[in-house]
């Protein structure tokens, strides 16, 4: 069993390396800017969902307020950049740290809440953040911030002529989020999280420090999501509260994991790879009329998959594999 687990982890790492290598080569063949754009968004949502999955999937604390951390990453980066001329890289890290600290600060009261009470508290806190930013004059209020062009370089993290650098950053972020998950999965924390998710009382009685392990999950999760927010802000070159902190982001982060498989290493990647291109394509081919057909398709898919495959699409693979192993 242990041997199988170690072998599986090694195999996961190899598959991930091969996939990342193939993805890195993709722009050699895909020159179409529209398709590149979809790839960038897919990688970004895979990274975000992977990060969300750490707290909500592995540790079982379902958050529908992660847009807060996404927005904090975006705003910290851009406020530092536009107001003080601080390079986006520092703003990005700063945003990650602030988001992690806020996540832990909120953890004190929030982690006492159970089930639906926790979910609703996370929605509410993100909504408060949204309202505050919409009314915060210094941060551009509801109008938001247009990011000034200061150059075309990795140093300034701004690229005018090509989208490729954004693609490689998104790929790197996706790899980072995946690797962090992979690494934590087999750490003390990873085992604690699964114990906390399955049965907090039993975990507590066996010496798992439930509260601390939730705090750890929240901090890692929020930090990575904020990095994603900082990236998104640089990528769009424009932010306003609704477009970086709106409820749809909380949902869009959760959905790939839900679709692919919650609390699994590959779920968020698989989910994002299917969901994001589908969303973008339905939006441009049938959603352009503004008549909501994309929403209907999208929503129906969520209902069907969550009912038919509660463990996500990855369960299709593991099921066949488990059968193969026993035979």
Partner 1 sequence: MTAQAIIQSLASGLLMGLLYGLIAVGLALIFGLMDVVNFAHGEFLMIAMYASFFLFAFFAIDPLLSAPLVAAALFVFGAVVYLLIVRFAMRAKANAGMVQIFSTFGLAIVMRGLAQFFFTPDYRSIPQSWLGGKTISVAGIFLPEPQLIGALVSILAFAGLYFFIHRTDFGRALEATREDPGAVALVGIDKNRVFALGWGLGAALVGLAGAIMAVFFYIYPDVGASFALIAYVTVALGGFGSVFGAFAGGIIVGLVEAVTALVLPPSLKSVGIYAVYLLVVFIRPRGLFGSM
Closest CA to 224 of 168, 174, 164, 154: 174
User: Is 247 a binder of partner 1 (CB under 8 A)?
Assistant: yes
Judged by DSSP in three states, 285 sits in: helix
User: Is 5 a binder of partner 1 (CB under 8 A)?
Assistant: no
Which residue in 180, 251, 274, 278 binds partner 1 (CB under 8 A)?
Answer: 251
Sketch the per residue contact string, 281 through 320, with partner 1: x for CB under 8 A, - otherwise. ---------xxxxxxxxxxxxxxx-xx--xx---------
Of the two residues 48 and 258, which places its CB atom closer to partner 1 in the complex? 258
Of the two residues 10 and 291, which places its CB atom closer to partner 1 in the complex? 291
Of the two residues 86 and 302, which places its CB atom closer to partner 1 in the complex? 302
User: Is 211 a binder of partner 1 (CB under 8 A)?
Assistant: no
In our burial notation (b when 16+ CB lie closer than 10 A, e otherwise), range 273-298 reads: bbbbebbbebeeeebeeeeeebeeeb
Determine the Cα–Cα distance for residues 128 and 121; give it in Å rounded to an integer: 10
User: Is 143 a binder of partner 1 (CB under 8 A)?
Assistant: no
**Hey, which residues between 48 and 107 contact partner 1 (CB under 8 A)?**
62, 64
Size of the site for partner 1 (CB under 8 A): 47
Question: How many angstroms from the chain centroid is the CA of residue 275?
Answer: 13
Sketch the per residue contact string, 177 through 196, with partner 1: x for CB under 8 A, - otherwise. --------------------
| Region at 237 (left for phi over 0; alpha for psi -120 to 50; beta for the rest) | left
User: Is 120 a binder of partner 1 (CB under 8 A)?
Assistant: yes
User: Is 121 a binder of partner 1 (CB under 8 A)?
Assistant: yes
- Sign, CA dihedral 161-165-166-168, equals positive
User: What one-character DSSP code corresponds to residue 147?
Assistant: P
Determine the Cα–Cα distance for residues 24 and 302; give it in Å rounded to an integer: 30
Of the two residues 151 and 292, which places its CB atom closer to partner 1 in the complex? 292
Which stretch in 39-47, 131-139, 145-153, 218-226 sits in contact with partner 1 by CB under 8 A?
Answer: 131-139
Of the two residues 37 and 306, which places its CB atom closer to partner 1 in the complex? 306
Of the two residues 60 and 216, which places its CB atom closer to partner 1 in the complex? 60
Which residue in 5, 33, 83, 135 binds partner 1 (CB under 8 A)?
Answer: 135
The helix (H) or strand (E) run that includes residue 293 is helix 293-308
Closest CA to 94 of 114, 80, 111: 80
Determine the Cα–Cα distance for residues 48 and 174; give it in Å rounded to an integer: 8
Angle at alpha carbon of residue 238, lines to 136 and 63, rounded to 5°: 65
Of the two residues 303 and 325, which places its CB atom closer to partner 1 in the complex? 303
Which residue in 12, 127, 204, 242 binds partner 1 (CB under 8 A)?
Answer: 127
Contact 142, 240 (CB under 8 A): yes
Angle at alpha carbon of residue 224, lines to 182 and 252, rounded to 5°: 95
User: Is 137 a binder of partner 1 (CB under 8 A)?
Assistant: no
Of the two residues 25 and 296, which places its CB atom closer to partner 1 in the complex? 296
Determine the Cα–Cα distance for residues 113 and 156; give it in Å rounded to an integer: 42
| Chain contacts with partner 1 (rule: CB under 8 A) | 62, 64, 109, 112-117, 119-121, 123-125, 127-128, 131-132, 134-135, 247, 251, 254-255, 258, 262-263, 290-304, 306-307, 310-311
């Amino acid at each position: 069993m242990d041997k199988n687990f170690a072998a599986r982890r090694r195999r996961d790492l190899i598959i991930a390396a091969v996939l990342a290598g193939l993805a890195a080569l993709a722009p050699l063949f895909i020159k179409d800017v529209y398709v590149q754009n979809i790839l960038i968004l897919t990688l970004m949502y895979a990274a975000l969902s992977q990060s969300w999955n750490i707290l909500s999937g592995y540790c079982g604390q379902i958050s529908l307020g992660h847009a807060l951390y996404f927005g904090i990453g975006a705003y910290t980066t851009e406020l530092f950049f536009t107001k003080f001329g601080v390079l986006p890289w520092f703003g990005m890290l700063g945003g990650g740290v602030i988001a992690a600290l806020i996540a832990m600060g909120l953890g004190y009261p929030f982690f006492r809440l159970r089930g639906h009470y926790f979910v609703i508290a996370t929605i509410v806190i993100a909504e408060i953040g949204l309202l505050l930013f919409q009314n915060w004059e210094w941060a551009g209020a509801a109008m938001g911030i247009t990011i000034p062009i200061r150059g075309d370089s990795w140093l300034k993290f701004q690229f005018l002529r090509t989208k490729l650098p954004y693609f490689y950053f998104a790929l790197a972020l996706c790899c980072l989020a995946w690797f962090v998950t992979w690494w934590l999965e087999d750490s003390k924390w990873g085992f604690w999280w699964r114990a906390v998710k399955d049965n907090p009382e039993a975990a507590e009685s066996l010496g798992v420090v439930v509260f601390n392990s939730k705090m750890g999950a929240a901090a890692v999760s929020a930090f990575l999501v904020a990095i994603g927010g900082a990236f998104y802000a640089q990528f769009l070159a424009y932010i306003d509260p609704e477009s970086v902190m709106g409820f749809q982001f909380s949902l869009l982060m959760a959905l790939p994991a839900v679709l692919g498989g919650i609390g699994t290493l590959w779920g968020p990647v698989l989910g994002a790879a299917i969901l994001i291109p589908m969303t973008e394509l339905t939006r441009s081919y049938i959603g352009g009329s503004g008549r909501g057909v994309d929403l209907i398709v999208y929503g129906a898919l969520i209902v069907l998959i969550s009912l038919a495959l509660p463990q996500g699409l990855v369960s299709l693979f593991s099921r066949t594999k488990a059968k193969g192993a026993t035979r």
